[in-house]
């Protein structure tokens, strides 16, 4: 079987490629603008990599959609800080560029495995969010935090419609705060621009306090990447049971406040580095305005828990890795790769743009600034 992974160097792409190469005889065709997380895979005989940008290398990508059996378009900006500082970039990359891929998959009648997100539920107030019955609730337009959720939700809807009306073969999966090695980079964390676990670990490595936004009472269900990969492998190997379905992939059994995550991270950091808690800068409470920027449109969900009954039933899957050990493997990975000898740079004055700006996006940004309807 031939799998195409667009964004193969990312958190899910790099870990999934490794799992596929280790446990199957499939070929992985991958493209990405970076290679730092796949260096160990590059020489593998069944790993076929081409450096490339989803926004530019249309020919390579379309050709490989045609050539492969299953397509995973994993390129996206998935960091909340960027949703509020650069919402148009999120829309352009996460929606527009990925729509292109969905259409190629439809055109060549391939199978699509699409990463939706827990964010699509927004501020849903149910105890546990269900793929088939929960309402998706967002704030007003000036809360730009929801542009990622809207972009992903609209793609879910487009994919669903292609499936229903034209027979597109697809499965969408919704990761609920997957964590583990290679979640973001420590460089992006220095922009304040990574997801919470990498952010906490980077702060500790840089001898800076952990920042608890709004006191950290908001809750998430963190899920180990290896549990997530088990679910993805079940989806990849079982088209009949998973076709035209959306699956929540998360760990509802350990609902964790961000304050507790901070404590777990501090404990793991002390164990891994041999430091004592009194050597560390500790935990600071901050406001969302101070953390994400004043009038930037941040809004949070206070309680996010997946209903995973569908995944249990159709994938025969449930998570098994305890949160403490996931946090610890994240800490071990980043501490090992932390450039201790390098003095951390201060990036605070620089803009946050994690992906290359293409000609197209520059054009769009200029147009929007000039209020031209493009």
By CB under 6 A, name the binding residues for ligand UGA: 78, 80, 117-119, 148, 175-177, 195-196, 199, 211-213, 216, 218, 220, 258, 300
- Cα–Cα distances (Å) from 254 to 181, 199, 228, 305, in that order, read 20, 21, 15, 9
Q: Indicate the DSSP class of residue 354.
A: -
Shortest distance (Å) from residue 183 CB to ligand UGA: 9
Distance, in Å, from the CA atom of 69 to the CA atom of 121, rounded to the nearest integer, reads 30
Shortest distance (Å) from residue 58 CB to ligand UGA: 26
Alpha helices in the chain (DSSP H): 11-23, 58-67, 80-85, 87-90, 98-107, 147-166, 186-190, 196-205, 225-236, 239-242, 258-273, 288-292, 309-315, 323-337, 359-369
The residue (of 4 and 196) whose beta carbon lies closer to ligand UGA is 196
Q: Are 114 and 155 in contact (CB under 8 A)?
A: yes
Shortest distance (Å) from residue 243 CB to ligand UGA: 23
The residue (of 98 and 199) whose beta carbon lies closer to ligand UGA is 199
Alpha helices in 68-146 (DSSP H): 80-85, 87-90, 98-107
Q: Beta strand 256-257 with 219-220: parallel, antiparallel or unpaired?
A: antiparallel
The residue (of 148 and 317) whose beta carbon lies closer to ligand UGA is 148
Count how many Cα atoms sit within 13 Å of the Cα of residue 186 in the half-sphere of its side chain.
20
Q: Indicate the DSSP class of residue 257.
A: E
Structure tokens at 119: 């964010």
Shortest distance (Å) from residue 195 CB to ligand UGA: 3
For residue 303, the SS3 value is: strand
Distance, in Å, from the CA atom of 277 to the CA atom of 360, rounded to the nearest integer, reads 49
The residue (of 105 and 213) whose beta carbon lies closer to ligand UGA is 213
The residue (of 18 and 117) whose beta carbon lies closer to ligand UGA is 117
Shortest distance (Å) from residue 220 CB to ligand UGA: 5
Shortest distance (Å) from residue 144 CB to ligand UGA: 13
The residue (of 238 and 286) whose beta carbon lies closer to ligand UGA is 286
Distance, in Å, from the CA atom of 356 to the CA atom of 350, rounded to the nearest integer, reads 15
The residue (of 175 and 319) whose beta carbon lies closer to ligand UGA is 175
Distance, in Å, from the CA atom of 14 to the CA atom of 22, rounded to the nearest integer, reads 12
Q: Which residues contact 65 (CB under 8 A, 6 or more apart)?
A: 4, 71, 101, 104, 105, 107, 108, 110
Shortest distance (Å) from residue 261 CB to ligand UGA: 8
Q: What angle do CA 354, 365, 140 make, to 5 degrees?
A: 85
Shortest distance (Å) from residue 236 CB to ligand UGA: 20
The residue (of 89 and 106) whose beta carbon lies closer to ligand UGA is 89
Shortest distance (Å) from residue 328 CB to ligand UGA: 18
Nearest to 248 by CA among 323, 306, 179, 322: 306
The residue (of 68 and 116) whose beta carbon lies closer to ligand UGA is 116
């Amino acid at each position: 079987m031939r799998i195409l992974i667009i964004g193969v160097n990312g958190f899910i792409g790099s870990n999934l490629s490794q799992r596929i190469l280790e446990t199957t005889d499939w070929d992985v065709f991958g493209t990405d603008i970076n290679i730092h997380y796949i260096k160990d895979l590059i020489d593998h005989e069944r790993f076929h990599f081409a450096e490339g940008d989803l926004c530019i290398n249309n020919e390579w990508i379309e050709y490989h959609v045609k050539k492969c059996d299953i397509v995973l378009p994993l390129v996206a900006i998935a960091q909340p800080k960027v949703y509020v500082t650069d919402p148009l970039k999120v829309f352009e990359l996460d929606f527009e560029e990925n729509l292109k891929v969905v259409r190629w998959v439809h055109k060549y009648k391939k199978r699509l495995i699409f990463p939706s997100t827990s964010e699509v539920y927004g501020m849903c107030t149910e105890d546990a969010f269900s793929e088939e019955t929960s309402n998706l609730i967002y704030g007003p337009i000036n809360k730009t935090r929801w542009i990622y959720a809207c972009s992903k939700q609209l793609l879910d809807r487009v994919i669903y419609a292609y499936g229903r009306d034209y027979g597109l073969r697809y499965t969408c999966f919704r990761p609920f705060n997957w964590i583990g090695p290679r979640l973001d980079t420590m460089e992006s964390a220095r922009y304040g621009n990574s997801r919470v676990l990498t952010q906490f670990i980077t702060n500790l490595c840089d001898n800076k306090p952990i920042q608890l936004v709004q006191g950290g009472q908001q809750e998430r269900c963190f899920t180990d990447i290896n549990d997530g990969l088990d679910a993805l492998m079940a989806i990849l190997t079982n088209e009949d049971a998973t076709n035209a379905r959306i699956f929540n992939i998360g760990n509802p059994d350990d609902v964790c406040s961000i304050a507790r995550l901070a404590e777990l991270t501090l404990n793991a950091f002390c164990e891994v580095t041999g430091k004592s808690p009194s050597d560390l800068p500790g935990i600071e409470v901050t406001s969302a305005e101070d953390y994400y920027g004043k009038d930037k449109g941040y809004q949070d969900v206070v309680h996010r828990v997946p209903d995973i009954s569908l995944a249990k039933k159709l994938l025969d899957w449930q998570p098994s890795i305890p949160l403490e050990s996931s946090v610890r493997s994240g800490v071990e990975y980043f501490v090992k790769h932390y450039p201790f000898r390098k003095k951390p740079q201060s990036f605070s004055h620089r803009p946050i743009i994690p992906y290359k700006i293409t000609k197209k996006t520059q054009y769009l940004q200029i147009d929007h600034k000039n209020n031209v309807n493009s």
